[in-house]
Amino acid sequence: MESKYIPEPYKIKMVEPITLLPKEERAERIKEAGYNTFLLRSKDVFIDLLTDSGTNAMSHYQWAGLMLGDEAYAGSENWIHLEETVKDLFGFKYVVPTHQGRGAENLISLILIKPGMHIPGNMYFTTTRAHMELQGGIFVDVIRDEAHEPERDDIPFKGDVDLEKYEALIKKVGPEKIPYICVAVTVNMAGGQPVSMANLKAVYEMSQKYGIPVIFDATRCVENAYFIKKREPGYENKTITEIIREMFSYSDGCTMSGKKDGIVNMGGFLAVNDEDLYRQASGLVVVYEGMPSYGGMTGRDMEAFARGLREAMDYDYIRHRVEQVRYLGDNMSSLGIPIVKPVGGHAVFIDARTFLPNIPQNEFPALALAAAIYEQSGIRTMERGIISAGRDKEGKDYYPKLELVRLTVPRRVYTRSHLDYVVDSVKDVFEKADNIKGLEWVYEPPVLRFFTGRFKPL
Ligand SMILES: *Cc1c(COP(=O)(O)O)cnc(C)c1O
């Protein structure tokens, strides 16, 4: 098995202590949290794999940039730096800053979506779909079928758009009812699966034929570029920067969360080529985020973000990041733990249905497993299954095919020994899986229920 570990391409200059609570206390803490790992206190967590969103470790160069924050209300130097960086790296004409990714999703949804419109995408993402639905839009999944099959590991680009599904939708509802197609690179909810350059190009060509704009969810685009370099013939000798440039040439705009591949703790942007769209977004950003020269970020945030985006394009950085995730996945898989394959860019996803075959989906196997992993080891993970999927307009639960527990690796934060502890701990839970019980609701919030919902064991 190929489980070679690439040494961390960084050394540690500042530490943040973490502690493992005694077992009885962990059981108490998860009970207090209503068995929802989102409601645990961070100080009670030993290794935090809840998310890689905003949990990145910044470099010394980024921290130095914070001291250069120009906190002017308008025309901050740091904004000019960020704007120039985004234009240069991604090739867009206009950039609108937002406090994080969902701020950009809100703007694009407000401008382009009218009630009853259909928005195709390669699998939904929670906040993206929530914003579409708030505007009366209907999300339509056009990802290739295999993305829904966690065991299929023979497909290098499981995130690809199924062009037949996409064209069938266009023919069914008409292109005028499709404000844009949202293409996520990589696909978070499918397990961080990448999209190939060939597919991005084909989607763009089809969209142009019907006059439909292509908007990328660029949140994890550097991870996607790494997979293209590794897996797609013809790209092995291209730099990450060159691949990113080509990817985005097949789009009309993007939303981005800097909290992921921007390697910062907060930030985001919307970038577009259309001047009218830019003007509308600049008008709305004032209402929802802040001036078009800061959009909810401080000057120092924007400086760190501009620097982080450049660092993210470094091959040694992104190779270690993605290979670290693969190391975690390969080692769990070799112990027989069922995971989504091939391992994606940011996280290892445990297939909770196979892990806990006796717990039906309406008893929340993925959340029950996440709670058990915390109790066993102090490791915090996240449910990505029926609870995250929410309810449709009629109030019926979505029953997603995938019922997963996500172990997300923050960028530049943990070392190999942390990952080895994670593998050992999940193995211990796997050996005692029969003891895990399903859960039921105690409190169900109306939107994005996974964040604050509370549960008890059956
Ligand atoms: C995190 C994420 C978002 C939302 O970004 P926030 O900064 O959390 O608002 C959108 N799309 C994808 C694919 C993400 O991973």
78-89: pLDDT as tens digits: 999 999 999 999
Report the candidate in 339, 362, 371, 350 with the shortest Cα–Cα distance to residue 436.
Answer: 371
Report the pLDDT value the prediction gives residue 444, as an integer from 0 to 100: 95
Mean pLDDT in residue range 403-423: 97
Is 450 an annotated catalytic residue? Answer: yes
Q: Report the C-alpha gap between 44 and 204 in whole angstroms.
A: 46
Question: Are β-strands 404-408 and 382-384 bridged in parallel, bridged antiparallel, or unpaired?
Answer: antiparallel
Is 125 an annotated catalytic residue? Answer: yes
Mean pLDDT in residue range 2-7: 78
Amino acid identity of residue 423, one-letter, is V
Amino acid identity of residue 112, one-letter, is L
Handedness of CA 330, 331, 335, 336 (dihedral sign): negative
Q: What is the pLDDT of residues 201-240, one digit of tens each?
A: 999 999 999 999 999 999 999 999 999 999 999 999 999 9
Rounded to the nearest whole angstrom, what is the distance from the C-alpha of residue 448 to the centroid of ligand 1? 13
Report the candidate in 219, 306, 263, 256 with the shortest Cα–Cα distance to residue 411.
Answer: 263
Domain ranges of the chain: 23-52+315-457, 61-312
Rounded to the nearest whole angstrom, what is the distance from the C-alpha of residue 25 to the centroid of ligand 1? 32
Rounded to the nearest whole angstrom, what is the distance from the C-alpha of residue 390 to the centroid of ligand 1? 17
Q: What is the pLDDT of residues 101-145, one digit of tens each?
A: 999 999 999 999 999 999 999 998 989 999 999 999 999 999 999
Is 126 an annotated catalytic residue? Answer: yes
Q: Report the C-alpha gap between 56 and 119 in whole angstroms.
A: 31
Report whether 390 contacts 398 (CB < 8 A): yes
Q: What is the DSSP letter of 7?
A: P
Question: Are β-strands 253-257 and 214-217 bridged in parallel, bridged antiparallel, or unpaired?
Answer: parallel
Rounded to the nearest whole angstrom, what is the distance from the C-alpha of residue 28 to the centroid of ligand 1? 31
Q: Given the residues 73, 399, 443, 451, select the one marked as catalytic.
A: 73
Q: What is the pLDDT of residues 424-448, one digit of tens each?
A: 999 999 999 999 999 999 999 988 8
Tally Cβ neighbours within 10 Å of residue 83.
Answer: 20
Q: Cα dist. 439→205, 318, 436 in Å?
A: 46, 38, 10
Is 326 an annotated catalytic residue? Answer: no
Instruction: Decide if 23-52+315-457 and 61-312 have a common fold.
Output: no
Its pTM stands at: 0.94
Report the pLDDT value the prediction gives residue 1, as an integer from 0 to 100: 43
* Banded pLDDT at 353 (limits 50, 70, 90): very high
- CATH number of the domain located at residue range(s) 23-52+315-457 in this protein: 3.90.1150.10
Handedness of CA 278, 279, 282, 288 (dihedral sign): negative
Ligand 1 atom closest to 186 (CA): 13
Residue 145's Cβ-side half-sphere holds a number of Cα atoms within 13 Å equal to 2
Going by alpha carbons, the residue nearest to atom 10 of ligand 1 is 101
Question: Are β-strands 347-351 and 404-408 bridged in parallel, bridged antiparallel, or unpaired?
Answer: antiparallel
Q: What is the DSSP letter of 379?
A: E
Q: What is the pLDDT of residues 24-41, one digit of tens each?
A: 999 999 999 999 999 999
Residue with tokens 């959009």: 295
Q: Given the residues 384, 406, 411, 412, select the one marked as catalytic.
A: 384
Q: Cα dist. 316→87, 186, 229, 247 in Å?
A: 23, 19, 13, 20
Higher pLDDT, 152 or 420: 420
Report the pLDDT value the prediction gives residue 4, as an integer from 0 to 100: 80
Phi, psi of 444, rounded to the nearest 5 degrees: -115, 110
First to last CA, the chain: 40
Mean pLDDT in residue range 350-374: 97
Average pLDDT, the chain: 96
Q: Given the residues 37, 55, 98, 126, select the one marked as catalytic.
A: 126
Amino acid identity of residue 361, one-letter, is Q
Q: With pLDDT > 70 as the criterion, what percentage of the chain qualifies?
A: 99
Rounded to the nearest whole angstrom, what is the distance from the C-alpha of residue 436 to the centroid of ligand 1? 31
Q: Report the C-alpha gap between 441 and 454 in whole angstroms.
A: 6
Token pair of 152, please? 């299929």
Rounded to the nearest whole angstrom, what is the distance from the C-alpha of residue 96 to the centroid of ligand 1? 16
Report the pLDDT value the prediction gives residue 360, as an integer from 0 to 100: 97
Q: Report the C-alpha gap between 300 and 399 in whole angstroms.
A: 42
Q: What is the pLDDT of residues 288-318, one digit of tens each?
A: 999 999 999 999 999 999 999 999 999 999 9
Going by alpha carbons, the residue nearest to atom 6 of ligand 1 is 101
Tell whether domain 61-312 is in CATH 3.40.640.10: yes
Tell me the best of 125, 182, 257, 382 to mutate to test the pocket of ligand 1, counting ligand atoms within 8 Å of each CB and taking the most: 257
Residue 2 has pLDDT above 80, yes or no: no
Ligand 1 atom closest to 53 (CA): 1
Rounded to the nearest whole angstrom, what is the distance from the C-alpha of residue 255 to the centroid of ligand 1? 9
Q: What is the pLDDT of residues 50-69, one digit of tens each?
A: 999 999 999 999 999 999 99
Report the pLDDT value the prediction gives residue 3, as an integer from 0 to 100: 59
Going by alpha carbons, the residue nearest to atom 14 of ligand 1 is 219
Report whether 220 contacts 346 (CB < 8 A): yes
Mean pLDDT in residue range 322-328: 97
Q: Cα dist. 207→4, 121, 252, 255, 325 in Å?
A: 41, 12, 10, 18, 33
Report the pLDDT value the prediction gives residue 151, as an integer from 0 to 100: 83
Residues with CB under 6 A from ligand 1: 53, 100-102, 125, 127-128, 184, 188, 217, 219-220, 257, 259-260, 268
Report the pLDDT value the prediction gives residue 448, as an integer from 0 to 100: 85
Is 177 an annotated catalytic residue? Answer: no
Ligand 1 atom closest to 100 (CA): 7
